[in-house]
Structure formats: C-alpha cells, structure tokens
Amino acid sequence: MKKIGLFHLILMLVLMISTTAPAANPFAIKLGVVTKPGAAQNIMAEKFKKRVEARSDGAYTVKIFHSASIGNETEILQQIQMGTIHMGVITGGPFDTFDPIVRVINYPFLFKDHDQADRILDGPLGDEILKSLETSGFKGLCFSENGFRNLTNSKRAVTGPDQVKGLKIRVMSSALHKAIWQALGANPTPMPWPIYTELEQGVIDGQENPLWVMEVYKFYEIQKFMTLTRHVYSPHINVASLNWFNGLPAADQTLITEAAVEAARFQRKDNREKNAARLALVREKGMQVADDPDVDAFRKRVAGLKDLDLYQAPRVQDLLIRMLE
C-alpha cells in the first residue's frame, strides 16, 4: 500500500473532526452499486477506482460495495445524501424520486442513438441536470451508461404494443417507468434490483433492460422472448455526497471528476462494443428476438406522457421541452 502524504493525513484528521455525518475517512471512498461484477455499473466503478487510486498516488482508495450489499438504489442514494457513503453509480429510475429532473433523461424515445445521447448528456443540458442534483445533496459528476432498454418476457412474442397488453412487467422503482408501461397497456410492477428469482418463479412475466443484463444475469435461461424496443436510453448518474465533495481540496475535486469522466468514456465504449456479441449469445441460447418491432406504434402510445403531472414542475417541463426540440 502506498503512503498517504502528510498533507492528506492532516486534512483527513481535520475533516474527520469537523464532519457531522461521518463516512469516517474522507480519502477512503465508499462507492455503492446494486449490480454484480461484470455489470455495466461495476465496470464503471472499477475503472473509476483504478484511475483515482493511480492518479492520487494512493492518497485515495475506493472500496466498491456491490450486489446491493449496502442496499437498493434508493437506499444507496439516501446514504449518499446523509454522507455515510461517498459515491454511487446509479441508474436513472429510482433517482427520479429524489429529483424529478431525472425524468427528463429517462423520457421514452428521447435519443435515437448513442451519438445523440453523448452529445446531449456531455453538453450543457446534461450539465444542467448534474447541477440540479445539488439541491438534493448530490454532486453529479458525469453520466456513464446502462444503455438502451429492451423488453423481454416469458409469455409471447411482442412486435408491437398490442401484444404487451396484460403482461406483468417489472419496472424500476420510478413513477415514470410505471407510467410508461401503463401507457403501453402492461401491468407494471415496481421492484428493486435484482429480479432473477421473481422472473424464474413467474411472479412477473417480463422486464426491460439493456443487452448486457441478459448476459451478466443469464436472463436467457428464464425469458423466451425479446423485443428490441430501445424505448428508454438509460444512463447511470455518477454521484457523490455533496458535503463530502465540497469539503475536499479543489485539486482533489478535479482529480475525482476527471477520473469519473475518463472512466465513463471507457465504460460507454466498452459497453457498446459488446452489444453485437450479446445479441448473438441470446439467440444462440434459444431466445426469440423481434429485432424490428413497430417502434412508431410504441412511440404513439407514450406520446401523452409529457403532459402528466410527473413533468409539471416548471423547471422539469422547461428542460423537457428543450430536450425534445
């Protein structure tokens, strides 16, 4: 283990004494994800860990708490707010109860491809979202990705919204995701991650997630049908506890932010490069894939979402309008 510099040691003691909600040592970063090694979030977290530890020459360490070992995404976010853990790589879904602005980036069919997603999220509109999170106690660092979400189920082939009717679909703990699947005629059931057992036991018929989930969680064992709906582009928001982050020296804040941005760039590329092989894998495992569903029909069914209460807060509505332009 590398030695911690004297500067950081003194600072550590000062911060440990002065911080009211102690996540103990401010240089031993605790980071939470709900997914397991190999998952998109974990690839992001591991890359971040490497970069921060190398760049700071060991002054910072990162411990990754994965597989929901410190709680589901809502609980991780609460702990970050309180400052009892420092960071998280969190999907958009459960985040929207903490700040409704997050609903804007989870709007269905908002982005048509990865380039557009990157351009918007890495640009001023993305910055507005990250900045907004400060109101609820988070420092938003950057976006990495879960990816475009696709529907899977165990009951029947789905090529358009008509066949979705009545399917019991697990959705993230998010009012928006519930509303999307209600509008599509499904019977949406909000449930935190992971969900393998519920799918296996038939408590739910289906779920929706990006391709990597099929591989890492072996959903091809328990889901027969996949529809490439790409209905929501799902970013991860990389967040830190605002109090903790603001208490760090400016140079360290920059180091941490840059490490996160670099890791996110790596993770998005890595995730995208693997998608073709994942699609081949699920076919090989026997899943029936509808790769050209009636996306226009899906889109029409969810067109009214922007008028729901979910989007009525003025700053949320304003940003959504600008996003949809």
Residue ranges that bind ligand EAX, judged by CB under 6 A: 34-35, 91, 93, 146, 172, 193, 209, 213, 234
Q: How far is the CB of 195 from ligand EAX (least distance, A)?
A: 7
Taking the complex as a whole, the smallest distance from the CB of residue 101 to ligand EAX amounts, in Å, to 19
Minimum CB distance to ligand EAX smaller for 65 or for 193: 193
Q: Which amino acid is at 165?
A: K
Distance CA 251, CA 128 (A): 23
Q: Closest CB to ligand EAX belongs to which residue?
A: 193
CA angle 94/140/48 to nearest 5° reads 95
Q: Shortest distance, CB of residue 10 to ligand EAX, whole angstroms?
A: 39
Kindly tell me which of 81 and 150 has the beta carbon lying closer to ligand EAX: 150
Smaller CB separation from ligand EAX, 35 or 163: 35
Whose Cβ is closer to ligand EAX: residue 68's or residue 183's? Answer: 68
CB nearer ligand EAX, residue 73 or residue 252:
73
Q: Where do we find the tokens 């099929």? A: 214
List the alpha helices (DSSP H) in the chain.
6-18, 40-55, 73-82, 92-95, 102-105, 114-121, 124-132, 175-183, 196-200, 211-216, 242-246, 250-273, 275-284, 295-301, 314-324
Two structure tokens written together for 272: 């995208």
Kindly state the smallest distance separating residue 132's Cβ from ligand EAX, in Å: 21
User: Minimal distance in Å, beta carbon 95 to ligand EAX?
Assistant: 11
236 Ramachandran zone, left/alpha/beta (phi>0; psi -120 to 50)? beta
